[in-house]
Structure 1
Amino acid sequence: MNLTRKRWHLLVVGCFINLFAGSLYAWSVFGAALADRLTAIGPDKVASADLALAFGLANAVGPITMISGGAVNDRFGPKFVIAAGGLLMGAGLYFCGTAATPLEIILAYGLGFGLGLGFVYGCTVNNTMKFFPDRRGLSGGLTTAVYGSSSVILPPAAAWLIAEFGIEAAMKGLGVVFAVVIVAGGLLSMRCPPGFVPEGWTAPAKSVQRADRNWRAMIASEEFPSMIALLMCGAVAAMMILAHAYSIARNQMGFTAADASVAVSVMALANTVGRIFAGTLSDKLGRLAALTLGIAFSLAGLAALAFAGPERPPLFYAGLVSVGMAFGSFMGVFPGFTAEVFGSRNNSVNFGIMFAGFAVAGVLGPTLMGTLRGAGLGYAVCYGAAAAIAATGLFFIWRLSRIFARGGA
């Protein structure tokens, strides 16, 4: 089959893999049930908070395998990197179902699942984009959007499995299914030939001028500091609200538990839509234009949240949707943005390093709200602090536009 046509089949495979990889977002369902199981079989009471380190560790170690697996992917292709990741993820879930102590769960999920996820996510996104130099925004937006859609689909599915079969059987079954599906998807994937150009497309001259820098050249470049800072600025607000969305809905808005859960799902769905929308838009208007729009969404959403209250629920939902769209904009655009600036050949490693900007936001955002709320300050102050950080991103967009106007570093 013609590779220009086959790449669309490979895109579908990558999206299907990411639908399962995004099971990270079902942790809140797993964690509560696993804590109940440990309490039932052990001498001490275990709360879901006692297992929170497993989720944090899974997020923290992901970039390690995004970078190391990315180096293998860039040289040899994604087949066995994704397969290895699928085995690790499946084993992590399976052994959570057999664990007898919190430490066993933290090691199984935090290290096993987390390291496997880094292999899988890094390869699916970056290898797919290599086949779409003409549509980097679309391909990056779709693969990351399907990953994000797991936050809407998988938690209720996991809750049903746990209710029907129990947490032990659910974790073991999910581990086997995830391993089989992701390994199969990896083996169906293929390496993009170096220098691949789709039929009927000619690379713009500027893309050639800034092509194929390795991670050392990327870090030493004039663009890198502004790009990684921009990613951090664009993600802080969403990470702050996503981490506390349920409690915000309960405390600021007075929602019931059921309504608060719906609010979380609304923001997650907006995040998914934002990845596709902004990724596609960035192919037409440019990456910086799409990211500028993302910051505008973030500022508008934070303002809506600041003025929302129990008597104005539509304003609250509008704020969640806007911030979710903003977050999706950054997560959908940045893989292709990184490839466009530094070249696609080394993008698996380069984006793994760039992803550190998101990792910083993942720590800073939740901590910022926790600190301000702990000091007795209101939600409006938290939203204002997040807005100040998001607005700082406009400076880095301006700086990058100046660098690009003169042809890069």
Structure 2
Amino acid sequence: MDDIRTMNATDETLTRRRWLILAVICLINLCAGSIYAWSVLASAAAAHFTAELGTTVTPGDLSIAFGVANAVGPIPMILGGAVNDRFGPRAVIMGGGLLIGLGLVLCGMAASPNSITLAYGGCFGLGLGLTYGACITTAIRYFPDRRGMAGGIVTAAYGMSSVLVPPVAQRLIEVVGIMNTFMVLGCVFGAVIMTGALACRRCPPDFVPVGMEQVRSARAASGKTWREMLASPIFYPMIVLLLCGALSGMMIISQAASIAKTSIGMGPAAAAAAVSVIALFNMAGRMAAGMLSDRLGRLAVLMGALVLSACGLGVLMTAGTGDDASFYLGCVLVGLSFGAFMAIYPGFTADRFGTAHASVNYGIMFCGFAAAGFGGPTLMREMQAVGMDFEACCMMALGFCAAGLMTALVCRIMMKTSEG
């Protein structure tokens, strides 16, 4: 009886405290999401190296740093996830914050573009993977009753950086210069993340929020290991679904500004606004889809997101020169859909494979998104390089939406079969 009372008291305390932990995780993710400010930083860094080295350096020359930072993400997510699953998120997030801060500071000391690639792509990228993975899985563990909501809010905070950080970085560049801006951002973001990590305690494996006592008997920290997850037949359609959903969005999002200029005839300001519109609705889609998935089911909302993306691509295909309104509408729909996948998949993965090894499992599942992050922009560039027009590119993206819908149906059938 005493053990039950102690358990109930602990659950009541954590049920209240989890909202504070969620808020701290959002602040951490806001700092980690500073990767979205890379376009501003790269432009200024290219001008700096051009002046310093006496040879032309373009933002495109520095784009490899951004690509590497994104590509290495699953590696620290998986390795750090193993530590997080066993010991908790505090050390993982602190290590991630240290690497993020150090990576930016080293960028401020860089003497060449190659040094930027090593510092940002390597050091910052590794820190980002550690921090992001630990934050996501910690949030969904504290909210087993609202995994979609928790995933939506945390990923929305990450996406909010695309709105808040670039103008701050631009102002800093104007005042102190690009190299000092790297150092300032590194010190601030590193300090905030490492301080926030102190509040991120491990969620007890038997935690059940007040109000969910009816499932207390099933509250053990159950779940499949990564080997068991890979042996599970449903893993493969799930990761293909994530790849298809993210790939169709990445094709458009990565090239939105250039598409706005070349296909719609927008000026630089209007094209930049289109990127901001995508960012805002991407963030809104994460919050809305996460909460809806708690009520309607993960697959239902993911399928709706694919339909939404297909509609957006259809609108973009009909948008001609000067048709700014249609272009913005298409961007809104694609942004909402892309955000839905980012918000729902952490909870979706935990639903299917349990929370005991959620950090490692989601790190492996995240490889689908990492592949989309590389494949979407690359496919778009290659199609344009061989002379394919924007309409043909949209048709290709529509094909991925259709493949995603078929894969989602496979997932639904497999889920019903396993439940039956």
- TM-score normalised by L of structure 1: 0.97
Judged with a 3 Å threshold, the aligned counterparts in structure 2 of structure 1 residues 83 and 180 are, in CA distance, closer, same or farther, namely same
CA positional deviation for 1:26 = 0.5
Judged with a 3 Å threshold, the aligned counterparts in structure 2 of structure 1 residues 203 and 91 are, in CA distance, closer, same or farther, namely farther
Give the partner amino acid of 1:398: L
Secondary structure of the residue that 2:210 maps to in structure 1?
A: coil
Tell me the equivalent position of 2:70.
59
Q: 1:211, 1:340 within 8 Å by CA — same for their partners in 2?
A: no
CA positional deviation for 1:408 = 5.5
Secondary structure of the residue that 1:216 maps to in structure 2?
A: helix
Judged with a 3 Å threshold, the aligned counterparts in structure 2 of structure 1 residues 392 and 203 are, in CA distance, closer, same or farther, namely farther
CA positional deviation for 1:220 = 0.7
Q: 1:223, 1:408 within 8 Å by CA — same for their partners in 2?
A: no
Distance (whole Å) between structure 1 residues aligned to residue 227 and residue 62 of structure 2: 37
CA positional deviation for 1:369 = 1.6
Tell me the equivalent position of 1:345.
356
Could you tell me which of 392, 409, 415 is aligned with 1:404?
A: 415
Report matched runs for 1:2-401 at 5 Å.
2-202=13-213, 211-401=222-412
Instruction: Give the number of aligned pairs.
Output: 408
Distance (whole Å) between structure 2 residues aligned to residue 177 and residue 311 of structure 1: 42
Give the partner amino acid of 1:152: V
Distance (whole Å) between structure 1 residues aligned to residue 220 and residue 337 of structure 2: 30
Distance (whole Å) between structure 1 residues aligned to residue 175 and residue 329 of structure 2: 35
CA positional deviation for 1:160 = 1.0
Judged with a 3 Å threshold, the aligned counterparts in structure 2 of structure 1 residues 203 and 15 are, in CA distance, closer, same or farther, namely farther
Distance (whole Å) between structure 2 residues aligned to residue 41 and residue 377 of structure 1: 38
CA positional deviation for 1:43 = 3.9
Distance (whole Å) between structure 2 residues aligned to residue 376 and residue 213 of structure 1: 47
Using the TM superposition, name which of 289-298 and 30-39 deviates more. 30-39
Which deviations, in whole Å up to 9, do the C-alpha atoms of 1:81-133 show, x marking residues without a partner? 10111010001111111111111111100111000000000001111110000
Distance (whole Å) between structure 1 residues aligned to residue 387 and residue 188 of structure 2: 46
CA positional deviation for 1:310 = 2.5
Give the partner amino acid of 2:380: M
Q: 2:284, 2:339 within 8 Å by CA — same for their partners in 1?
A: yes
Q: 4+ residue runs of structure 1 moved beyond 3 angstroms? A: 202-205, 207-211
Which deviations, in whole Å up to 9, do the C-alpha atoms of 1:354-374 show, x marking residues without a partner? 011111111221122212211
Secondary structure of the residue that 1:188 maps to in structure 2?
A: coil
Which deviations, in whole Å up to 9, do the C-alpha atoms of 1:148-192 show, x marking residues without a partner? 111111111111110111111111111110111000011111100
CA positional deviation for 1:214 = 0.8
Q: 2:88, 2:203 within 8 Å by CA — same for their partners in 1?
A: yes
Judged with a 3 Å threshold, the aligned counterparts in structure 2 of structure 1 residues 209 and 186 are, in CA distance, closer, same or farther, namely closer
Distance (whole Å) between structure 2 residues aligned to residue 11 and residue 108 of structure 1: 30
Which runs of 5 or more structure 1 residues have no equivalent in the other structure?
none
Distance (whole Å) between structure 2 residues aligned to residue 44 and residue 69 of structure 1: 40
- TM-score normalised by L of structure 2: 0.94
Secondary structure of the residue that 2:73 maps to in structure 1?
A: helix
Tell me the equivalent position of 2:9.
none
RMSD: 1.7
Secondary structure of the residue that 1:365 maps to in structure 2?
A: helix
Which runs of 5 or more structure 2 residues have no equivalent in the other structure?
1-11
Distance (whole Å) between structure 2 residues aligned to residue 334 and residue 12 of structure 1: 20
Distance (whole Å) between structure 1 residues aligned to residue 220 and residue 393 of structure 2: 42
Distance (whole Å) between structure 1 residues aligned to residue 45 and residue 389 of structure 2: 33
Judged with a 3 Å threshold, the aligned counterparts in structure 2 of structure 1 residues 208 and 372 are, in CA distance, closer, same or farther, namely farther
Judged with a 3 Å threshold, the aligned counterparts in structure 2 of structure 1 residues 364 and 408 are, in CA distance, closer, same or farther, namely farther
Judged with a 3 Å threshold, the aligned counterparts in structure 2 of structure 1 residues 10 and 19 are, in CA distance, closer, same or farther, namely same
CA positional deviation for 1:211 = 4.7
Q: 1:19, 1:147 within 8 Å by CA — same for their partners in 2?
A: yes
Distance (whole Å) between structure 1 residues aligned to residue 381 and residue 114 of structure 2: 26
Q: 2:71, 2:374 within 8 Å by CA — same for their partners in 1?
A: no
Q: 2:69, 2:124 within 8 Å by CA — same for their partners in 1?
A: yes
Identity across the alignment (%): 50
CA positional deviation for 1:375 = 1.7
Which deviations, in whole Å up to 9, do the C-alpha atoms of 1:276-308 show, x marking residues without a partner? 000000000000011011101110000000001
Give the partner amino acid of 1:308: A
Distance (whole Å) between structure 2 residues aligned to residue 352 and residue 25 of structure 1: 20
